[in-house]
Structure 1
Amino acid sequence: MPRLFVAIRPPPAVREALLGAMGGIDGARWQDDEQLHLTLAFVGEVGSAQARDLTGALEEADSPAFALEAAGVGHFERKGLPTAVWARVPLTEPLARLQRRVERACRRVGLEPEKRGYRPHITLARLPRSAGPIGDWLAQHGTLRAGPWEVEGFTLYESVLRPDGAHYSALVDYEF
C-alpha cells in the first residue's frame, strides 16, 4: 500500500538556505535536498482505490498563489527528548486556508483528519536518542530566514521507507 502525504516544495534558493543551516548536532540525521518540504497533510498508508479517489479530491483544493517564508527554528520532543529540529513557517491565512482545503479533500475520501493542530514547519533533521544537545544549534539559527517564495501549487507524494531513510516520489502536482 502506498504511504502518502501532501506538501509544498520550496524552490531551490530556499532549500539551499535551509541546507546551509544543517550541521552542528552530533548524531542528527539531516535531511537532504530531496526531503525538504512543508507538509499540508500526512495521509499514511492507503489502498490504491482510496489513493485514486484522493488524487481526484485534491483537485478541488484550489487556492490563489500566495507567499511563504521560513522564519526561525524549533524542535519537537517526545518524553522530554528532542526528536527533530525544523525551520518554522509562519501560519498565514492563505496557508491555513489551503491546509484546511487539503484536509477536507482527505476527509471526503474517508481519511481520518490529523488529531494534532497544524504547525507548519520544514523538518531539517531527525534526532535519535543518541543525538547531541540542540541548545547551541537552536540559538545559532534562531534568526534563520529563507524566502519569501511564491506558492503556486502543491504535490501529492509517496514516501518509501528504506534503511537509509525515507525516499519521496512526486505522484501528482496540483497547480493553482
Structure 2
Amino acid sequence: MKALIDFLLQFGHLNTQQIDLITGKAKALQLAKDNYFSEAGKVPNQVGFILHGIMRVCYYDNTGEEITKYFCDENNLIVDWHHYDAKIPASEYVQAVTTCKLLIFSRQDWEELSNTIVGWENIVHKIIQKALIQKLDRRSPLVSEDATTRYLAFLQKFPSVANRVPLSYIASYLGVTQQSLSRIRKNVR
C-alpha cells in the first residue's frame, strides 16, 4: 500500500484521512501470467496499480498478428484511460506478461475518490499527462531508427523488463521478427 501512496504523493498532496480513504478502497488482486486485466470489446471498469510484475497493452492488426503497444511495470497505474473514461469498449488488451500483484479500484470506488478527495482530479490528470509523455518518448524513436538502435533504446528505457518478458513480445514492440531480434541481441553482447 505504501508504494501506491508514495506514487500518488508525487502528483499532489493528500492528508491522512484521504490516504485512509484510498487505502480502504484498494483491493488486492493477483493476476496469473497471460491473464487479462481488461479485454478488447469490453468496457474497462477498473483501475490498477502494479505492485509486482509486468503488463503489456496489445492488439491484433488487420492480418491477425498480435502487436505489443507498450509495457507497464511496477509502481505504475494500469488502465485503458481513453476507453475507461468514455465508458466504451476497449480496442486493446491489457495482459499480465508475468504473474502480477495489483491493487485495484472498481469504477464505483474510483469515482467515489474523485467525488470525495479535493484535488483528486488534478492528481489523476498529472498521472495521465506523465503517462502520455512517457508513451510518446518510448514510441517516437521506434519510427525512425534502425532495429539495433531501437533495441538499445528499449534496453535503456525498460531495463527491468528486457529479461522478464518473452522475446516475441519485445520483437513485436520493436516491429521486428523474433529471428531478427535474436540476431541483434547476439551482435550487441
Q: TM-score, normalised by structure 1?
A: 0.29
Q: TM-score, normalised by structure 2?
A: 0.28
Name which one, 1 or 2, has greater alpha-carbon Rg: 2
